[in-house]
Chains A and B, each alone.
Chain A
Amino acid sequence: MANLELRSVSKAFKTGKVLDRISLAADNGEIVAIFGPSGSGKTVLLRLIAGVEQPDEGTILLGGRDVTDQAPETRGVGMAFQNFALFPHMSAFDNVASALTAHKVPRDVIRAKVEKVATLLKIEHVLGHAPRELSNGQKQRTALARALVAEPKILLLDDPLRNVDAKLRYEMRLELPSLLKASGSTVLYVTQDYKEAMALGDRIAVLSDRDFAQIARPAEIYRTPATLNVASLFGDPTINLMPVEPVASSGGPRIGIGGAELSLPRDYGHMAGKACVLGLRAENIVVEDVGTPESLPVAVVAVTPLNERTLLLLRTDDGRELLASEAGTNEAPRRHGPAFARFDPGAVLLFDPASGRRILPQAA
């Protein structure tokens, strides 16, 4: 059952419409990453669910109950923000417990609950410390413990790792999913980092242009993005995009790039003669010394190692640039100069240049 549901919710400010009839349903215990560029309305969305902003239209249901007109404190929603601020004059224990004291919970129950969540977050040994005595990681966990200890049915996290250093951010990215799962809360996790969204979300809701462009599991968003924009927001390096116009042939549709003609899967036959944007991820391009009839002559312009991969900047005969990414770190000096690029036609994405929407394959 959906634990959280937004039905056609809109919100405008003086500066204009921020959210336009958006809908979302999240299951019990599900982590939904709300991903989008800054200014796309992610925080406004959380504030609507928490009840600190009112929607202009639409309905918000929590646990099947319409809470659209209810006060924030009755909604059972926990929220933590970017800064994860702690009360400096209170111990870590009291900081965590502060989420419960307002609710008149008996003291021994408070102690049991705080200790349980502290053990989960591995801060049980520093509960007596003041915030200034905690490492940044421990502060982060303490603030998260405070959000979790009230056992909210809905937990809203607004880019909680934004202001922490890269190392801690990476460690928290690895640990957070199991911590959040253990809490049993339904989590909406706002982030601007596509890797964080893919790592943490059971599903990702991509917010763009006042509405969700796609709500799907991470692998689905990466492999079959609904729009050009979604395709460009996921992946490092950014997906290669090229205008093409498929032509019909007896062997199926073909596209011309840089003097070469390459096959597309047959189920794109309906696109013959229509302008498209071809999307091809860097890791789906193979660069070889020897060409085949299905490969594209290119010049390797630059070799730029990226982590444990190698990025090759390729230029086609007609001056288009492509990035290819190979697993491993082959830095052989041969790399500059003529080569051939080949790609799996099955990895090709086509988009409509006008609407930006992905063109779906159609059985011929």
Chain B
Amino acid sequence: MSEAALSIKSVDKIYEGRGKGPVHAVKNLDMDVQRGEIVALLGSSGCGKTSTLRMIAGFEEVTRGDIVLEGRRVNQMPPARRKVAMAFEGYSLYPPLTVRDNIAFALKSARMSPKDAQKSVADVARILEIEPILDRYPSSISGGEQQRASLARALVRQADLYLLDEPMGQLEPRLRAVLRGRLKSLLVDRRMTAIFVTHDQTEANALADRVAVMEGGVLQQFASQKDLRERPANLYVATFVGEPPMNVFESKVTNGDRVRFAIDNGPTFDFADSDIPQSVRSAIGGRDKVVIGIRPHAVRLGVGSDHARIVSNQWLGDQSHLAMEVAGKLMVAVSHAPIPARAGESLRFGVSASDLHVFDASTTAALSHGLEAA
């Protein structure tokens, strides 16, 4: 039996279009999720994340490939038999039951004693702050409350896998950070295996051990949020992940006695060959054009040989965002402390070799991250 709680093996999903031709929503997806792991499927709308979740749940047929849950191939198994608990949009609460009875319903059918069931409901209600609405009916509570009630209903169940669709999407800001923390604590403490879909990278990063970034039906990268940020596999991931995302510039590269990146219509970053390890130089090879990337937190301010005009310098309470005009666009630098500079002034900036990301200009695949080849 496989170690993984879930294996998605070479899965395709093709919707036969009505009149318009088929839509290839998920392309050759391979993914393993370990027991106790929390995984986010992250992407913009139409990226294939929701189709993937619905195939795992059994709401959509798999066009090609296999879905294996706890060692069992489940392609043909109906949703109710898959031992998955779900909180989905459209998988709504039963209108004739109170929120409490909705949550307890699955526990009764699992033959849990009424006393234990009441305790489970009370615990999850406290965690998600829905105690005051437990005796209300779904039609009389807000959208955000319905979402939390539906989440509670999934979380109280015993299941091999928890599938959650935008679990915290509608929460008001006041509750969001605390509830995310409590939800993560619950999932981690009970070693629940969970997969959730979100378009919000803040939510993905906060909750997930690993994040699967999807775009155009293709899995772009499946890694920890730290790796997504520090070792993005391609330009799509580099410019999608990160708040704000990586600054990227097309540049000419000279890979000789010195390594020079000359940004089109912008500055040149010039490194001694000793600054750039051989592995990185080999990865760049004989290319004469690449795309270089610098994370906003890695832009060094007040040092370096280049100047740029400051477009804005905005303090947001716990961080500063400074925008400079570089090569006809904005380069953003972010600092945890206020930056003593004013819009309109000119400021020196630079980048360390250890913070420079290099991407192939045509395939967009990463070539190197700092001092390591990709």
Interface residues of A (CB under 8 A from B): 170-171, 173-175, 177-178, 181, 195, 198-199, 218-219, 222, 232, 234-238, 281-283, 301-309, 311, 313, 321, 323, 325, 327, 329, 331, 336
CA distance in complex: A199, B322 (Å): 10
List B contacts of A177 (CB < 8 A). Answer: 312, 314, 343
Q: A178-B344, A307-B202 are in contact. Are A238 and B173 (CB under 8 A)?
A: yes
Q: A304-B177, A308-B297, A329-B226 are in contact. Are A199 and B314 (CB under 8 A)?
A: yes
Would you give the shortest CB distance from A319 to chain B, in whole angstroms? Answer: 11
- Interface residue ranges of B317-353 to A (CB < 8 Å): 317-319, 321, 323, 330, 332, 334, 336, 343-344
Which residue of A has the minimal Cβ distance to B172? A238
Question: CB distance A306 to B205 under 8 Å?
Answer: yes
Interchain residue pairs A-B with the least CB separation, the first 8 = A313-B181, A237-B177, A304-B206, A302-B181, A199-B314, A174-B323, A327-B336, A302-B185
Would you give the shortest CB distance from A278 to chain B, in whole angstroms? Answer: 17
Interface residues of B (CB under 8 A from A): 173-174, 176-178, 180-182, 184-185, 188, 202, 205-207, 224-226, 229, 242-244, 297, 311-312, 314-319, 321, 323, 330, 332, 334, 336, 343-344
CA distance in complex: A199, B321 (Å): 9
Contact of A175 among B242, B243, B323 (CB under 8 A): B323
Contact of A323 among B178, B185, B334, B343 (CB under 8 A): B178
List A contacts of B229 (CB < 8 A). Answer: 329
Question: CB distance A321 to B178 under 8 Å?
Answer: yes
Q: A302-B185, A305-B226 are in contact. List 17 more A-B contacts (CB 8 A).
A: A177-B343, A199-B314, A222-B317, A238-B173, A238-B177, A283-B318, A302-B182, A307-B202, A308-B336, A309-B336, A311-B177, A313-B177, A313-B184, A313-B185, A321-B181, A323-B178, A331-B226
Would you give the shortest CB distance from A129 to chain B, in whole angstroms? Answer: 19
Question: CB distance A323 to B243 under 8 Å?
Answer: no
CA distance in complex: A194, B318 (Å): 13
Question: CB distance B317 to A237 under 8 Å?
Answer: no
Question: CB distance A199 to B316 under 8 Å?
Answer: yes
Question: CB distance B205 to A305 under 8 Å?
Answer: yes
Contact of B178 among A178, A222, A237, A336 (CB under 8 A): A237
Q: A177-B343, A321-B178, A323-B177 are in contact. Are A235 and B185 (CB under 8 A)?
A: no
What is the interface of chain A mostly: helix, strand, loop, or mixed? mixed
List A contacts of B317 (CB < 8 A). Answer: 198, 222, 234-235, 281, 283
Contact of B315 among A174, A198, A327 (CB under 8 A): A198
Q: A199-B314, A218-B315, A305-B205 are in contact. Are A238 and B174 (CB under 8 A)?
A: yes
Question: CB distance B174 to A232 under 8 Å?
Answer: yes
Would you give the shortest CB distance from B28 to chain A, in whole angstroms? Answer: 28
Which residue of A has the minimal Cβ distance to B176? A237
Question: CB distance B330 to A175 under 8 Å?
Answer: yes
Question: CB distance A174 to B206 under 8 Å?
Answer: no
CA distance in complex: A173, B319 (Å): 15
CA distance in complex: A301, B244 (Å): 28
Question: CB distance A178 to B314 under 8 Å?
Answer: no
Would you give the shortest CB distance from A196 to chain B, in whole angstroms? Answer: 10
Which residue of B has the minimal Cβ distance to A284? B318
CA distance in complex: A323, B182 (Å): 11
CA distance in complex: A329, B243 (Å): 14
CA distance in complex: A309, B207 (Å): 14
List B contacts of A281 (CB < 8 A). Answer: 317-318
Which residue of A has the minimal Cβ distance to B200? A166
Which residue of A has the minimal Cβ distance to B203? A304
Question: CB distance A174 to B177 under 8 Å?
Answer: no
